[in-house]
Amino acid sequence: MNFPKSPFLFKINKHPSPLSDKKREEILKNPGFGQFFTDHMVIIKWTEDKGWYDAIISQYKPLEISPASVILHYAQGIFEGLKAYRAKDGRILLFRPEANAQRFVESAKRLAMPELPKDIFLDAVKQLVKIDQKWVSDHPNASLYLRPFMFGNDNLLKVHPSREYIFCIIASPAESYFTGQKTTISVWLETDYSRAGPGGTGTAKCGGNYAASLIAQNNATQNNCSQVLFLDMVEHKWIEELGGMNICFIMANNILVTPALNGTILAGITRHSILKLAQQMGLTIEERPYSFEELKEDVKSSHLKEVFACGTAAVITAIGRIKYKDGECIIANETCGEITEKLRTQLIDIQKGNIEDKNGWVHSVRLS
């Protein structure tokens, strides 16, 4: 697929002293997730008078903002997450970046922010990947994680939509999201705190959602769990999503159940892709409410066979144990199920260009 042409000509200010090949290769041997950053970043500004202007790619460096900036006081900020992959033939591939561009628009609408045109979003991603292409590793589990974000930068202590915004993209080499991960992870079912409620910002990818989840994530960590699993805010009955990813359940009769997008759950791009692949594999898809009581009964009767988390960072990660205040549920003897593994393998093979992309999801970045 080709990228749409952007109306902007990006000003390129190359880093005067980028990291040496030797140091970069050392980092790429074990980058972890979100610990290291590439040499460059994208910055585009917006004001009421000028609209979007001053598109620059420059060296990665601290931002200078006012102490009264809207983002610091009222959290008017959104972000996205997508990955670039190195194919065996040397190409660099992006997976469904147009979906990220569209979700960025929807998040901006919800937080009363200006909409960044999708062609500019995509061109900015392409430009950064192109200039930092040496950071896209060819290691089997490696990728370059791209973090577009935008925030209000008005320096006025009045509760209001900002009159100035900064859009940025930074990039970080990545491997496994869950460090030290074995075959499966354990998750903590949170009953005291909720992630989002009806009419709130649950469908927007904004920092406030994640900040609100951190105390619950602390509870998960204290119970030796990798992630927190939230119930709905109204009835505290229905499973919604994890702290940073969606969740799917595989039943004995080849049915994939996942909570419906009800206005409080983020519409994950990986989630959507998995549902499509699962349907193409012959599974029946049920997007519907699924209660924790129902889950416990399905585990007891062995009707529930596999559970996995899914998201850009985690890809597909099997869940083997769900802990809660009064007990725990163990799924499939804490082993990664056959369908989970098949879906994960197929998704990664598409992302890395190892198999045919029948759905038109993969974009190749022109590097010259």
Q: Which residues of 318-333 are buried (b: 16+ CB within 10 A; e: fewer)?
A: bbbbbbbeeeebebbe
Query: Phi then psi for 315, rounded to 5 degrees?
Result: 60, -110
Could you tell me which residues come within 8 angstroms of residue 153 by beta carbon, excluding any fewer than 6 positions away?
A: 65, 66, 69, 70, 71, 162, 164, 165, 166
pLDDT of 192 > 90? The answer is: yes
Confidence (pTM) = 0.95
pLDDT digits (tens, 9 = 90+) for 121-153: 999 999 999 999 999 999 988 999 999 999 999
Share of the chain above pLDDT 90, in %: 93
Q: How confident is the model at residue 5 (pLDDT cuts 50, 70, 90)?
A: low
Could you tell me which residues come within 8 angstroms of residue 269 by beta carbon, excluding any fewer than 6 positions away?
A: 82, 96, 99, 100, 103, 312
The predicted pLDDT at position 20 comes to 97
pLDDT of 363 > 80? The answer is: yes
The whole-chain average pLDDT of the chain stands at: 95
Q: How confident is the model at residue 209 (pLDDT cuts 50, 70, 90)?
A: very high
Residue 84: enclosing H or E segment and its boundaries? Answer: strand 82-86
